[in-house]
Structure 1
Amino acid sequence: MKLKYKASELFCFLSIMVPTSMFFSQNIPPDSSTISEKVIDDVLIIGKGVIDVAKERETPIAVSIIKKQEIRDKGGNQEFPAIMKNTPSIYVNDATGYGDAKMVTRGFDQSNTAVLVNGQPVNGMEDGTVYWTNWTGLIDIANTVQVQRGLGSSKLAVSSVGGTINIITKATEKKASSTARFVTGNDGFWRTTYEYNSGLQGKWGVSFATSTWRGDGYSRGTKGSGQNYFLSIGFQPNQKHNFNFIIFGAPQNHDHKYYTKISDYKRYGYKYNVNQGWFHGKELLLRSNYYHKSVANLNWDWKINERSTLSTVIYGSLGRGGGTGGFGSKYIETQNISTPQSANAIPGSRNQQNGTINWDAIFDYNLTHNTDGIGTGKDNYIMRSSVNDHQWYGLVSNFNHKFKKHFEFNVGIDGRAYTGTHFQQAMNFMGLSGVSDNISTNVNGMNTVTKNYNINPWSSLFRNVSKGQKLGFDYDETIQYIGAFGQFEYVNKFMSAFIQGVISEQYNSRKDRFNYTPTNQKSKTLNNTGYNIKGGANFKINKNHNIFANAGYYSRQPFQNNLFLNWKNDVNPLADNEEIIGLEIGYELHYRFLDVSINIYRTSWNNRVETISNESINQIENRSGIDELHQGIEVELLAKPLKKLNIKGHLSLGSWKYNGNAHSTTYDSNNLSNIISEQDILLDGVKTSNAPQFSYGVGLVCKAFKNFSFDADLNRYEKLYSDFDITRVAGNTKIDLIELPDYFTLDVGASYTIYLDNSSLRFRANVNNVLNDVFMTYSKTNLKSGDKGADNVKFKGIDTANQVYFGNGRTWNFGVTYNF
């Protein structure tokens, strides 16, 4: 029998069988490496006038595209940010538990990388953080992700210091369809999903999706479970107006993993979790998260005439939930019996054989150290949850006018109103019937709490906790923001250029019911003006080559958490607007068989202030004058040597470091006039931490046989530096970081589709970190052998006393999707 294969099919088949398969990835689907407005036009309406989509060879920014099929295929049981790890200058640490992934863009963390969902900002109003645990449903509903590095194309005043992640979800789709999907994976993971699209039925259309998931987590004590829901109702009364209402949410519970000493990992295994414990024979985690964030928006696109449109979205978000932890002056024993225990450590509270928490010992301790079942914060230890409720409302409206020739003008407003309520409540009294809080600064005197509350994300959505049942703290943070933006754009067949500006006012205040008497609970309202201006141009040298450049200046208002000190109404005198200057130039080459983009960037981030509270010792540290300079080169390419083969590569070479020295002042948190210590922090030239400054990846996507495709990703990470602990730095001593070992990951996947009458069945399998490599993704400390507190024992060249995260070992997932 003769076997007949095309050359491309034979090449792909061999690439699966031989070790060269290590050098390939699937970041850009075979059919396209770009995105157009058709992605938006395929739905009825999602407020497309407020979504700033970067256009191929026109928008002068660095951008990478991840499309719907790749999101579904690569998602599996990974965290949503993980689908972006095959793009330049993106680093994802997802080894901490479901929903806890951290993403860094060009060396800037998530609070300085803007995340937009359908054009709406989702970074936390208080500190800019993105909590991916609230957005687990994006795996099921995201249609496209644009990774816009640098200033990005958004007209809003957003935290795009490192870049902008522009996520466009599904909405009310024009075509009728249904999809059922089941995914399973390592460590008990599974997710079921159902999607339905009615299509446009006259003037109306409906789409909805729902899913349920659970998993034990790769590491011990990282279980998670939740649901996702999505509903979109579209109404198209005529050719001039489109309306769409969307509501979605992702209620969930998941357990946390924390960084831990290398020596503890070596003793208890790489899956060890210091937060894991057992209570009356059942697993109980010290740190767990529960949250239900529901988002709703109403979109209206109005085609005023052939040249003018008005797009408006009104949105609201209701978030309820929090995270668990301990409450009281007592402590759980450390996980190393040879280490001297704190005088307040509860005897036997740590099982030294496996490192887990012995909650039964704490239960027994509380029974013998209380008065009539009522314990105290000083003498006992209970489980509490810190609640972080919020309501967030906003409006974005954009007017667009196209002039007769080449010119286009946009003007609009962006308003946001946010209130976050923070307090603690009892979760498990650990043998007590209540606890009296006498270690706080509550001016209203002693407070005895006798009610405990579960950590169910659904019941927390409507829960009301009375004032007398709150612990630790109880305050509101209110932020109001109003901004106006404008953009002028010029486009012809040879070039495109734009200039845009934003001016905004932000008002911040606090109401503290715990530390102040009723007449003094409201803080003063702080008012800060921010603005930014940016522009760029793209020149098409010919049909195959183009160059672009952009530049911008941001004056960004301080985050709420830096404006007020130590969880009180005391105003930070050092907090002022941060200054960001971004410059970038790029070159792109486009041929039928090859696409290449090269860009060089320089971002300076100046006048930063960091506030760090340590409640356990009643101290607060104020770091001021922190400047950073991030510059580098990025390369991205897509080669199509054969019809059924795509080869992709990316490279990021960065120089991210502190520029100049900073100053540290430590105060007594109960008396800010009492300065405990002052010192300069010699940071000049010190590398920034949390992301590798040199990384690259190569890969392939191969349609080996009919309806079958294979893909692989190889990513290499180098020059990853530790964080540092200022308390271990002697005065006027330069910070000396440690460099973590280089590492690489290899991920492979395969898809097979069966086409039936008016339906299809798609099978997908992924194996991540195929070689089960052991690597460190982050170090909290920078201890070297010989330092105080060091073990003087090394693992991969790093002292084992350092507290690190290890990345996940080999993981897998398999899914079946039925489209009908």
Structure 2
Amino acid sequence: MKSNSIKKSMLTVVVTLSTASFYFAQTTQDTLQKSSDIEQVVLSGVADIAKDRKTPVAVSTIKEAQIVDKLGNQEFPEILNTTPSVYATKSGGGFGDSRINVRGFDQRNTAVMINGVPVNDMETGAVYWSNWAGLSDVTSAMQVQRGLGSSKLAIASVGGTINVLTRAADKKRQGNVTGSIGNDGYNKALFSYNTGKSESGWATSFLMSRTAGSMYADGTEFEGYNYYIALGFNPSAKHDFQFTMTGAPQWHNQRSFQSTISDHIKYGGSEDEPNRKYNQNWGLLNGEEYSMTRNYYHKPVMSLNWDWKINDATKLSSVVYASFGRGGGTGDAGKINGKYYNNLPRTADGLVRFDDIVTWNQGGVVADFGAVNKTPYLANSNNGIIRRSSINSHNWLGIISSLNHKFSDNLNATIGLDARSYKGIHYRIASDFLGNNSYTDTSNINNTPNVITNTFASNADWNPFGGKTNDIKDQLAYSNDGLVKWLGGFGQVEYTKDALSAFVQGSISNQNFQRVDYMLYAPDQQKSEKVDLVGFNVKGGANYNINAHHNVFVNGGYYERQPFFGAVYLNNRNDVNPSLTNEKIASFELGYGFRSAIFNANLNVYHTSWDDIYKRLTTRATINGVSVTGVANVLGINEIHKGIELDFNVKPVQMLTINGMLSVGDWYFKGSPTASFVEDQTNTVIQEGTLALDGLKVGDAAQITAALGADVKITDWLNFDAQYRYADKLYSAFEPSSRLVTVAQPKPADPAVELPSFGLLDLGAGARWNINSTQAFKFRVNVNNVLDKVYIAESRTNKAADANEANNWNGINKSNEVFFGFGRTWNASVSFIF
């Protein structure tokens, strides 16, 4: 069931940080502007892009034309699913809620760069793709560098680096109007125009789009905008200036929680085909779609890049950038007769009964909800349910500057500075009282009890540049700021002569952390102790071109990375972790490449060890008949990630291109660290023992992936493409605390469950009608998961198969909580190029 009304939404501005001035060579008269190989791009600025047969790293490049044609209504990271060792899923399936793993490392440990500027959250390392939902509209090329990568910065590229290059202001003069439709009411309208470079050196590029509808899962209405403005000025051969501002304001209803397979069968499904669209987080309120979990954000980013060619041997590239994110996500607060909203009786279709929650909140009788509300209209944490918003705003300023000097035709060196200042703003407010008049909170020791009477719409603010807009008296549960300052330096020496190219690179960074808590401490004690942590990396590599067809490369490196903010201050308080230590990453890789007019291939083998990983674990135990929660801060978890990767493309005839890849990984835990779980209130140890992790497979990403595709150009105006991809050795996620072995509990819980393998077929077709030399219509249709394959994309639980087969689905215990992948989806578009 979907509501057809898309409410007025806010802006989640995705601002593409333009730190490079570049130009993509034109190829034929194709739609929009086709990018040629990224190696042919004339790049300046701070973006570090791998060059074929020169940069010794494993790399895959996605061109603009591929993104424009094949992405359709998929999530932006999914375009990388046909590259080796990448596993991207839609996660819950809400607009922009996708995630990506590279070589078994999640996106917190994969550096995402926009034109060479890092965008991973400075507190958690996270990347929220909903904040960048419009990035696909303005991308000229995307390159994933697996492993160490070629970036000179001290970034968290444990798994790899994803470099996104946006369109330049000086693209050739051209305009585009596109309209798209898809399954479940998906619709998109886009307009873009490039002025081209004038004789005086000015150039402008502009784009605006709107996307709305619902995603495949039920209860996932959304509306998002995207804008992009690039202004370029090239006053002379020595100076080049580029200013960009981009954003993707959006709101979207989410499917935040995984449901059991049993519920997917119970609510609208069957034993043979569970209901893949089922979403436990939504229902109807006054006849309209209403979700307890709604995300809204506005993250404008702007940058000014200056490239200065000092002389023929020396060049300075600098970028100053700023990001101001405002918004958050909603959830529930309070209970009805001891039950959270998700545990209350549901409709026959499994929907949340929001109308009945309002009735109970106001003192009405809801028979199966239990006792009547004795304090109607007055909600608190134990009586009455409301919807609250968790605000996660930030202010981020930064500068990157690098000076490159060419000592000779063979030797050049780069030194640079990377400085950032970040303030994360975190608090909760009431979003919807759901029939109540107030909510009483007791979290603020300086104002207890606090009776909250104001609610705030769950929409992104169109003016995201202000500070906190809500008074502390309107806040509940928590209110704190995370302050992170970063100062880094880097240097690199490159040597190239004939067939040999080599580099040595090093960087060092100091992170300064401080936490400010407005609720848990008196005013004069709200600021925590400042903590300084130093990290560094060293890496190097060499590529040798044996002849025109064959090349080999090797690289290796060592990182010491500072832990994230949550490891510095324990238990959401200002308490500094006394056992802080850097995470250690060591990586080694060998590669081989083959190039010819018909066949190209790359073969890589890698080994990465990741030591002293921080995890905050929780467990429950019964002490003197009372159930209590214990927390352990574990720093000794280690992982090994190794594997082999192959990718190739074949062009036997002019009209046909075949591409494929195969990656086989072996990712597992090494060692079994000890853990002591401490009860927070009494500070006493309630459980201690060993985490039996040694040899267990790392979950949440397929360790074997393969893909085979073909692009067929029938005529100059008609083309078809097909892509089949396969995933195997996909294990469930699991909490390391479930592996606790103690004297009283000598046997740990089940290890990660291996999920069924799956293969998906995608088809596409495109046509072009040239009106004249500058105007054309382009048509495109994509169908994803053509065979409507039913598969599990991820599981958050690891319950072993039951001895009674009736309790299993496809060999997996039905009590496991999973996200099923989307079924068959489609989109169609028409573009007018002028």
Same fold (TM > 0.5): yes
Structure 1 CA distance for aligned equivalents of residues 362 and 344 of structure 2 = 14
CA gap of 1:374–1:704, structure 2 versus 1, over 3 A, is same
Q: Within the alignment, does 1:686 sit opposite 2:692 as a pair? A: no
For 1:218-261, what per-residue CA distance to the aligned partner results, in whole angstroms no more than 9, with x for missing partners? 01011111100111111111111111111111110011112110
Residue in 1 aligned with 2:763? 748
Structure 2 CA distance for aligned equivalents of residues 211 and 623 of structure 1 = 46
* Corresponding residue to 1:151 among 148, 161, 166: 148
Amino acid at match of 2:810: K
Following superposition, the deviation at residue 606 of structure 1 comes to: 0.2
Amino acid at match of 2:673: A
Secondary structure of the residue that 1:360 maps to in structure 2? helix
Secondary structure of the residue that 1:365 maps to in structure 2? helix
Query: How is 1:360-439 mapped onto 2 (pairs within 5 angstroms)?
Result: 360-368=355-363, 369=373, 371=375, 373-438=377-442
* Corresponding residue to 2:228 among 227, 230, 240: 230
RMSD over aligned Cα atoms: 2.1
Residue in 1 aligned with 2:265? 266
* Corresponding residue to 2:137 among 135, 140, 153: 140
* Corresponding residue to 2:660 among 649, 653, 662: 649
CA contact (8 A) 1:413 1:484 kept: yes
Q: Within the alignment, does 1:283 sit opposite 2:289 as a pair? A: yes
Residue in 2 aligned with 1:180? 177
Structure 1 CA distance for aligned equivalents of residues 451 and 619 of structure 2 = 25
600-609 vs 177-186, greater mean Cα deviation: 177-186
TM-score (norm 2): 0.89
Following superposition, the deviation at residue 372 of structure 1 comes to: 7.3
* Corresponding residue to 2:84 among 84, 88, 97: 88
Q: Within the alignment, does 1:634 sit opposite 2:645 as a pair? A: yes
* Corresponding residue to 2:48 among 41, 52, 56: 52
* Corresponding residue to 2:588 among 583, 588, 591: 583
Following superposition, the deviation at residue 411 of structure 1 comes to: 0.5
CA contact (8 A) 2:361 2:376 kept: no
For 1:298-331, what per-residue CA distance to the aligned partner results, in whole angstroms no more than 9, with x for missing partners? 0000010111110000000000000000112x16
Amino acid at match of 2:751: D
* Corresponding residue to 2:811 among 772, 792, 797: 797
Residue in 1 aligned with 2:525? 520
Following superposition, the deviation at residue 716 of structure 1 comes to: 0.8
For 1:155-181, what per-residue CA distance to the aligned partner results, in whole angstroms no more than 9, with x for missing partners? 011111111001000121242111111
Structure 1 CA distance for aligned equivalents of residues 357 and 317 of structure 2 = 58
Structure 1 CA distance for aligned equivalents of residues 809 and 509 of structure 2 = 50
CA gap of 1:665–1:818, structure 2 versus 1, over 3 A, is farther
* Corresponding residue to 1:621 among 628, 632, 637: 632
Secondary structure of the residue that 1:72 maps to in structure 2? helix
Residue in 1 aligned with 2:348? 353
In the comparison of the two structures, how many residue pairs are matched? 770
Following superposition, the deviation at residue 667 of structure 1 comes to: 2.3
CA contact (8 A) 2:692 2:739 kept: no
Residue in 2 aligned with 1:337? none
Following superposition, the deviation at residue 350 of structure 1 comes to: 3.2
Q: Within the alignment, does 1:549 sit opposite 2:549 as a pair? A: no
Gaps of at least 5 residues in structure 1 are: 1-28, 41-47, 332-341
Structure 2 CA distance for aligned equivalents of residues 213 and 229 of structure 1 = 12
Query: How is 1:565-584 mapped onto 2 (pairs within 5 angstroms)?
Result: 565-584=570-589
Secondary structure of the residue that 2:300 maps to in structure 1? strand
CA gap of 1:167–1:62, structure 2 versus 1, over 3 A, is same
Amino acid at match of 1:98: F
Gaps of at least 5 residues in structure 2 are: 1-31, 268-274, 364-372, 621-626
Identity %: 41
Q: Within the alignment, does 1:299 sit opposite 2:295 as a pair? A: no
Secondary structure of the residue that 2:262 maps to in structure 1? helix
Secondary structure of the residue that 1:140 maps to in structure 2? helix
Secondary structure of the residue that 2:296 maps to in structure 1? strand
Following superposition, the deviation at residue 797 of structure 1 comes to: 0.3
CA gap of 1:378–1:207, structure 2 versus 1, over 3 A, is same
Secondary structure of the residue that 1:719 maps to in structure 2? strand
CA gap of 1:528–1:756, structure 2 versus 1, over 3 A, is same
Structure 1 CA distance for aligned equivalents of residues 710 and 414 of structure 2 = 40
Following superposition, the deviation at residue 429 of structure 1 comes to: 0.7
Residue in 1 aligned with 2:28? none
CA contact (8 A) 1:347 1:361 kept: no
CA gap of 1:513–1:718, structure 2 versus 1, over 3 A, is same
Residue in 1 aligned with 2:824? 810
* Corresponding residue to 1:318 among 296, 302, 324: 324
Residue in 1 aligned with 2:507? 502
CA gap of 1:548–1:33, structure 2 versus 1, over 3 A, is farther
Query: How is 1:693-708 mapped onto 2 (pairs within 5 angstroms)?
Result: 693-708=703-718
Residue in 1 aligned with 2:59? 63
Residue in 1 aligned with 2:117? 120
Structure 1 CA distance for aligned equivalents of residues 450 and 689 of structure 2 = 39
* Corresponding residue to 1:466 among 437, 453, 471: 471
Residue in 2 aligned with 1:596? 601
CA contact (8 A) 2:77 2:100 kept: yes
CA contact (8 A) 1:184 1:813 kept: yes
Residue in 2 aligned with 1:21? none
CA gap of 1:31–1:221, structure 2 versus 1, over 3 A, is closer
Amino acid at match of 1:196: Y
Residue in 2 aligned with 1:26? none
Amino acid at match of 1:760: A
Query: How is 1:68-79 mapped onto 2 (pairs within 5 angstroms)?
Result: 68-79=64-75
CA contact (8 A) 2:404 2:413 kept: yes
Residue in 2 aligned with 1:335? none
Structure 2 CA distance for aligned equivalents of residues 152 and 612 of structure 1 = 31
Amino acid at match of 2:449: M
Amino acid at match of 2:831: T
Following superposition, the deviation at residue 370 of structure 1 comes to: 6.0
CA contact (8 A) 1:624 1:663 kept: no
Following superposition, the deviation at residue 348 of structure 1 comes to: 9.4
CA contact (8 A) 1:427 1:452 kept: yes
389-398 vs 201-210, greater mean Cα deviation: 201-210
Q: Within the alignment, does 1:660 sit opposite 2:671 as a pair? A: yes
CA contact (8 A) 1:33 1:65 kept: no
Residue in 1 aligned with 2:498? 493
Query: How is 1:29-44 mapped onto 2 (pairs within 5 angstroms)?
Result: 34-38=37-41, 40=43
400-409 vs 123-132, greater mean Cα deviation: 400-409
CA gap of 1:791–1:568, structure 2 versus 1, over 3 A, is farther
CA contact (8 A) 1:487 1:499 kept: yes
CA gap of 1:617–1:477, structure 2 versus 1, over 3 A, is farther
Secondary structure of the residue that 1:71 maps to in structure 2? helix
CA gap of 1:235–1:614, structure 2 versus 1, over 3 A, is farther
Following superposition, the deviation at residue 756 of structure 1 comes to: 2.1
Following superposition, the deviation at residue 434 of structure 1 comes to: 0.9
Amino acid at match of 2:420: R
CA contact (8 A) 2:246 2:302 kept: yes
TM-score (norm 1): 0.91
Q: Within the alignment, does 1:166 sit opposite 2:151 as a pair? A: no
CA contact (8 A) 1:150 1:160 kept: yes
Structure 1 CA distance for aligned equivalents of residues 474 and 798 of structure 2 = 41
CA gap of 1:345–1:68, structure 2 versus 1, over 3 A, is closer
CA gap of 1:728–1:311, structure 2 versus 1, over 3 A, is closer
Amino acid at match of 2:564: F
Amino acid at match of 2:648: L
CA contact (8 A) 2:281 2:342 kept: no
For 1:20-51, what per-residue CA distance to the aligned partner results, in whole angstroms no more than 9, with x for missing partners? xxxxxxxxx999984225254xxxxxxx3200
Amino acid at match of 1:66: I
Structure 2 CA distance for aligned equivalents of residues 31 and 448 of structure 1 = 58
CA gap of 1:55–1:706, structure 2 versus 1, over 3 A, is same
